[in-house]
Structure 1
Amino acid sequence: MSGIANTIARSGGTPSEKHPKASAPALGALQGSLASIREIDPNLIDDWGPVDRLEEFTAVNAEDDDENFEVLKNSIREGGQQVPILVRRSKTAEGRYEAIYGRRRLKACRELGLKVRANVQDIDDATALLAKGLENAARRNLSFYEKARFAEAIQSAGHDGATVRKVLNLSASGHSHLSKVTQNVPSKIGDFIGAAPKSGRPKWTDLAELFRTKKLTEKVALDILAKISASLNSDERLETLIKEATKRGAKAPGGSREITPIEGVTIKAGRGTLSLSVKKSGASAEFATWLEDNLAEIIKRSHAEFTDVNSADDN
């Protein structure tokens, strides 16, 4: 066995325990045979299918990704390519191939000027997707958001929901949770945040809900993310965005709202109350004293204005 089958065996698992259930053609494509392993010029291999790792299409983790890629490249330079990639013959160009999985190994060999060891299989799109999902599941667990983006990419490539669920081993409700995130969180925001490997469904659902209810916009989110320290990792970026969006006035999923219009002044809006607090120290100290003397009159005038406006609307 090679590729994913070897990985599963080493981990002590089986495809039916923790990974998408493998069809015979998909598992066969992954295992391959010595006769199907060839050394191919990387320049004859094109990418195929939906991207299954967020790092392939986001630059937010570029520093870490570059470091990990260099480790991979050095390993291949010093010890050779140990695990073949999976390819199939191109359907449109004679003599060319399509990479089902192994993009990073392919890129490393291309940069090193080496031929890439590839398992060449004649498989259809559905089998290729299953093989891709199986290999990825054994190699590295996708984060919740990576799964969401992979599921979206599979459907964007023209495959139905049943295929998505089979490839990612999802229930209907699990697929629904992923879809809620990709349908509401702009992909540009997701790219900026990154894979967030330690953040599961709750946090991404919270962010999706902020966008769904229009309590957070892409423009505001990008403004917040642009000011976040570059030293934060993707999980910290996600958490900071949710906190900052709430602080700026976006209602959190629990229904609360907190606004800081000026330094030292906080307005909190809950489901049943609205409160105002002003610090009597620091920059807001003098304003707090003035407001204490004038707040009652300000509220009376505001209420009278509110009443006049409502009366005009009724007429």
Structure 2
Amino acid sequence: MDEFTAVNAEDDDEGFEALKNSIREGGQQVPILVRRSKAAEGRFEAIYGRRRLKACRELGIKVRANVQDVDDATALLAKGLENAARRNLSFYEKARFAEAIQAAGHESATVRQVLNLSASGHSHLTKVTQNVPSRVGDVIGSAPKSGRPRWTDLAELFLERKLTEKIALKLLAKTSTSSTSDERLEALIKEASKRGTKVSSGPREITPMDGVVIKASRGSVSLSVKKSGTSAEFASWLESNLEDIIKRSYTEFTDVNSEGDK
């Protein structure tokens, strides 16, 4: 059985163990929801109930499941509702979730439906993911007590060139290993704010993955993907699909901004 999407909230170890003990003692009371796999006959994709599925696997028991033929948009909605219901997603978790849904090829309208967002709310999330490198966000963590204002402050520091990905990671490496994600976010903002001046006049570089470099300067934005090594296959795919990706992205951009002006 496969996961429909890799977008998942962080596991709560204590809560998961309690769930597993409950299933061990009383059985799986609530079925998970699956759909037939489009890629492999005879296989299924888990739509929601990921933790119940994991618990049953670890206990070595069969999983009770309801099978429904649902489209991608409906499946994403169910997944989003499950994540939101299990615990309140932090602002940054929502931002990364929204980013992943769009990266999977879905329109901004689907993102807003899944996460129950307004056009302006979606725009706030996008501002953060577009300006805060994902590697920096991964090191900081979910920061459950920090909302839009603090993450926007961090995004502005990158926009103002008071921070680069390299410098941010160095500053975060100096934080205490016992610090919480909220404390790491605050420490980074505090240290970057002290700088007061731009780190350089050159283009800002973001490396979302090995072999991929995005450069943003005052006059342009460029993307470079190596046609060798781990990014070779992605470079080939991107070359064939880049025109459609740009057109779709521009359509979504105009959609979000036109709705935000209403």
Asked if TM exceeds 0.5, the reply is yes
Q: Answer whether contact 1:155 1:161 (CA < 8 A) is retained.
A: yes
| Residue equivalent to 1:229 | 176
Contact 1:216 1:250 in 2 (8 A): no
Pair 1:51 & 2:4 matched: no
Which has more radius of gyration? 1
Q: Which amino acid aligns with 2:24?
A: R
Displacement of 1:87 after TM fit? 0.9
For 1:226 and 1:78, the matched residues in 2 are separated by 43
1:116 is paired with a residue whose SS is coil
Unpaired runs of 5+ in structure 1?
1-44, 57-64, 252-315
8 Å Cα contact 1:47-1:98 kept in structure 2: yes
- Give the unaligned 5+ runs of structure 2: 199-262
One-letter identity of the residue aligned with 2:4: W
- Offset at residue 198 of structure 1 (A): 1.1
TM-superposition CA deviations, 1:198-242 (whole Å, max 9, x none): 111000000011112221011111111112112111111111111
TM-score (norm 1): 0.59
Give the C-alpha shift of residue 250 in structure 1: 5.8
Report the AA paired with residue 108 of structure 1.
A
How many residue pairs align between the two structures?
A: 198
Asked whether 1:139 is paired with 2:95, we answer no
Cα 1:67/1:244, change in 2 over 3 Å: farther
- Give the superposition deviation at 1:101: 1.8
Contact in 1 for aligned 2:56/2:62 (Cα 8 Å)? yes
- Going from structure 1 to structure 2, the CA distance change for 1:138 and 1:68 (only over 3 Å counts) comes to closer
Which amino acid counterpart does residue 7 of structure 2 have in structure 1? V
Match of 1:70 in 2: 17
Provide Cα deviations, 1:237-276, integer angstroms capped at 9, x if missing partner.
Answer: 111111122234567xxxxxxxxxxxxxxxxxxxxxxxxx
Residue 160 of structure 1, CA deviation: 0.6
Residue of structure 1 in register with 2:69 after alignment: 122
Partner Cα distance (2:197, 2:33) in 1:
46
TM superposition shift of 1:66:
3.4
Alignment of 1:22-171 (within 5 A): 45-53=1-9, 55=10, 65-171=12-118
- Name the % identity: 81
- 3-state SS of 2:38 partner: coil
What amino acid is aligned across from residue 37 of structure 2 in structure 1?
S
- My pick for the range that moved more, 152-161 or 98-107, is 98-107
Contact between 1:50 and 1:154, CA under 8 Å: does it hold in 2?
no
What is the aligned partner in structure 2 of residue 173 from structure 1?
Answer: 120
Q: 1:205 to 1:89 in 2, by over 3 A?
A: same
Q: How does 1:214-225 map to 2 (within 5 A)?
A: 214-225=161-172
Matched residue SS, 2:2: strand
Residue 70 of structure 1 deviates from its aligned partner by 2.7
Pick 1 or 2: higher relative contact order, CA cutoff 8 A, min separation 6. Answer: 1
Structure 2 counterpart of 1:79, which letter? G
Distance between the aligned counterparts of 2:197 and 2:85, measured in 1? 39
The one-letter code matched in structure 1 to 2:90 is S
Q: Structure 2 vs 1, CA of residues 230 and 134 (structure 1 numbering), >3 Å: closer, same or farther?
A: same
Give the TM-score normalised by structure 2: 0.70
One-letter amino acid of the structure 1 residue matched with residue 69 of structure 2: D
Alignment partner of 2:89: what SS?
coil
1:185 equivalenced with 2:141 (yes/no): no
Partner residue of 2:245?
none
Note if 1:198 corresponds to 2:145. yes
C-alpha distance 135-69 of structure 1, shift in aligned 2 (>3 A) = closer
Contact 1:210/1:250, CA 8 A, preserved across alignment: no
The Cα of 1:107 is off from its aligned counterpart by: 1.7
Q: CA deviation at 1:50?
A: 4.8
Contact 2:139/2:172, CA 8 A, preserved across alignment:
yes
Aligned to 1:13: none
Q: CA offsets, 1:150-176, max 9 Å, x none?
A: 110110000011111111111111000
